[in-house]
Amino acid sequence: MPRQWSSGLCDCCAAGCLTCILAFWCYPLHIGLNAHTMNESFLMCCCPVAGHLLIRSKIRSEQGIEGSLLKDCLLVSYCHSCASIQESNEIAKIYGNEPK
C-alpha cells in the first residue's frame, strides 16, 4: 500500500534556511543537489524541470509513495520550490540525515 510523503508540501521551514534559500532563489542548483544526493547527475540542473520530474518520480517509485506523473507535473509547474524542498526532506530521511 502506498504511503504519504514524510513531510507536507508546505513544510518548507522543516528543511532549514539554506535549503529554503536554494529552493526559492537558486532552483536549478537545488535540483542539481537533490539529483546528486540521489546518485543522479548534478547536470540535471541544466534542465531543472525535466530533472525535477525525474527525481520526484524516482523518489516516489523507490519509496512507495502515492502519487502520479500528472500530479508531479502539476506540482513541478506551479509549486516547484515547495516540491523540491519536500523532496529534500524525503532524501534526508532516506539517507539518515533528517533536516534540523
pLDDT of residue 97: 61
pLDDT of residue 100: 39
Q: pLDDT-based confidence at 94, cuts 50/70/90?
A: confident
Using the predicted structure, report yes or no on whether residue 98 has a pLDDT greater than 80. no
pLDDT of residue 73: 95
pLDDT tens digits, residue range 75-89?
Answer: 999 999 999 999 999
Per-residue 3-state assignment (H helix, E strand, C coil) for the chain: CCECCCCCCCCHHHHCHHHHHHHHHCHHHHHHHHHHHCCCCHHHHHCHHHHHHHHHHHHHHHHCECCCHHHHHHHHHHCHHHHHHHHHHHHHHHCCCCCC
Phi, psi of 3 (to 5 degrees): -110, 175
Give me the residue spans of the domains in the chain.
23-94
Using the predicted structure, report yes or no on whether residue 17 has a pLDDT greater than 70. yes
